[in-house]
Amino acid sequence: MHLQKLPDGSIRLSRLNPWDVQTFRSLPALADYTAAPEAERRLLPAPAIESDLTPEMAMDWVEYVVPELRESFAESFTTVMADLETLSLDPGPEAEDAGDGVADDAEEQGEPSPSGQKSTAKGNVSQQAVEEMQEVEEEPPMPHFVLTIPGDHAEAWFRAMNQARIVLSIRYGIDSERVPELGRLLEAGQLEYWFQYELFVSLQGWLVEAVLNPE
Amino acid sequence: MFLPPPSPWPAADPLRLLFRAMAALPDSDTELLPAIEEEESSDLDQPWHVVVFNDPVNLMSYVTMVIRRIFGYSREKAEQMMLDVHQKGQCIVWTGGREPAELYVKQLQEHQLLCSMKKAG
């Protein structure tokens, strides 16, 4: 995934692979706190510590403030999902800046090796291996996607991912301050959540530094 | 020329004078009112702390940005508060009346920071 802030303030996410796209599309489900009471309490806590909270304060908060917070949270996902509707196939870096892929193409073009001989992808390998490689080469390339997000949607994206991480943290014990128990996550079929969490951390970190608070 | 609408009460209406006199008289109900008003007033006026708590999810750079955005603090002050949150577990980011404190807590919660109010002192 490539991240770029464009001169007009919009954000370009390119070279998105299908897993990236699926992860973004699953943001509302990942961030759903309605089935996780602890996550709901984390996102919508009482306004005051227990010893200072009066019943009137608590009731007013639930009646007037909590609905607005819920609505605010939901708006982020509406924005994100609408942006994802504008996803398109990424023509790739070759189409964007021809000639910038020298290093990537060198091996395919038979760049001279340090010994002065031209190396080939097919040198010193069996015919069977060559056929296998050809089969692999003939597979259609993985599609990549590109997405341009208006600059003023950056905060909605940030909050949607933040909410997803809060819920993932509470539901599956994944967070940024502990080394995850990968074995446990793997056994529980939850390892993908950790990858998703890390994807969000990376993108959020970039959004804060480059877009939301670029000083 | 504009003329004000006539008053529903004649200037020397005896019924109006009676209502005025009754309103000025203390009775058992009205004696309690000042005490209640005073209590509500003191609850609203007494200082409250707005406290941000550490949580393992929010990025440090984001916490700094939100504190700056909501309270208008300098980068240095907001960063110090963020570090206090991170290292000490919590930080008082504002102190004042209850109603503004509630507004700040709402704004912080909207940004998904873990926060709360508590009475000062």
Domain that holds residue B101: 47-119
The answer to whether residue B101 is domain-embedded is yes
Burial of residue B87, with CB atoms counted within 10 A of its CB: 0-12 exposed, 13-18 middle, 19 or more buried: exposed
Of B102, B112, B119, the CB nearest to A166: B112
Cβ within 8 Å, pair B116-A176 = no
Q: Which pLDDT score, from 0 to 100, does residue A47 have? A: 97
What is the C-alpha separation between B85 and B94, in angstroms, rounded?
A: 13
Q: Which two tokens stand for residue B31?
A: 């004696």
ipTM for the whole predicted complex goes beyond 0.85: no
More confident residue, A181 or B82: B82
Among candidate residues A39, A33, A152, A64, the one with its CA nearest the CA of residue B103: A64
Partners of B102 on chain A (C-beta within 8 Å) are 47, 61, 65
Report the CATH number at residue B105. Answer: 3.30.1390.10
Contacts of A172 (CB under 8 A, 6+ apart): A185, A188, A190, A193, A194
Which residues touch A148 (CB under 8 Å, ≥6 apart)? A6, A10, A11, A12, A13, A86
**Chain A to chain B Cβ contacts (< 8 Å):** 74
Query: CA Rg, chain A, in Å?
Result: 24
Mean pLDDT throughout A103-114? 37
Residue B53 lies in a domain: yes
For chain A, how long is the longest CA-to-CA vector?
83
- pLDDT > 70? residue A115: no
> CB distance B117–A52 less than 8 Å?
yes
Quick check: A208 and B62 CB within 8 A?
Answer: yes
pTM of the model: 0.74
- Write the DSSP symbol of residue A164: H
In whole numbers, what is the pLDDT of chain A averaged over residues? Answer: 83
Inter-CA distances, B102 with A59, B52, B70, Å: 13, 13, 13
What's the CA gap between A211 and A12, in Å, rounded?
12
**Residue A104 — very low, low, confident or very high, per pLDDT cuts 50/70/90?**
very low
Contact between chains at A177 and B56 (C-beta distance less than 8 A)? yes
Q: Which of A61-75, A83-97, B26-40 has the highest mean pLDDT?
A: A61-75
Q: CA A104, CA A198: separation in Å to the nearest integer? A: 27
User: Dihedral through CA B111, CA B113, CA B114, CA B115, nearest 10?
Assistant: -80
Q: Residue A105 has what pLDDT? A: 34
**Number of domains making up chain B:** 1
Residue B36 lies in a domain: no
In a domain, B67, yes or no: yes
Task: Return the bridge partners of B95, or none.
Answer: B49
- Residues of A at the B interface (Cβ-Cβ below 8 Å)? 42-49, 51-52, 61, 65, 68-69, 72, 158-159, 162-163, 165-166, 169, 175-178, 201, 204-205, 208-209, 212-213, 215
User: What residues of chain A lie within 8 A of the CB of B65, using their CB?
Assistant: 208, 212-213
Cβ-based contacts of B51 with chain A (< 8 Å): 49
Average pLDDT over residues A38-49: 96
pLDDT digits (tens, 9 = 90+) for A141-197: 888 999 999 999 999 999 999 999 999 999 988 877 777 777 777 887 888 898 999
Q: Dump pLDDT digits (tens) for B60-76.
A: 999 999 999 999 999 99
Q: Quick check: A44 and B57 CB within 8 A?
A: no
The residue of chain A nearest to residue B105, with distances taken between CA atoms, is A47
Residue B98 in domain: yes
Q: Which residues pair with A4 in a beta bridge?
A: A12
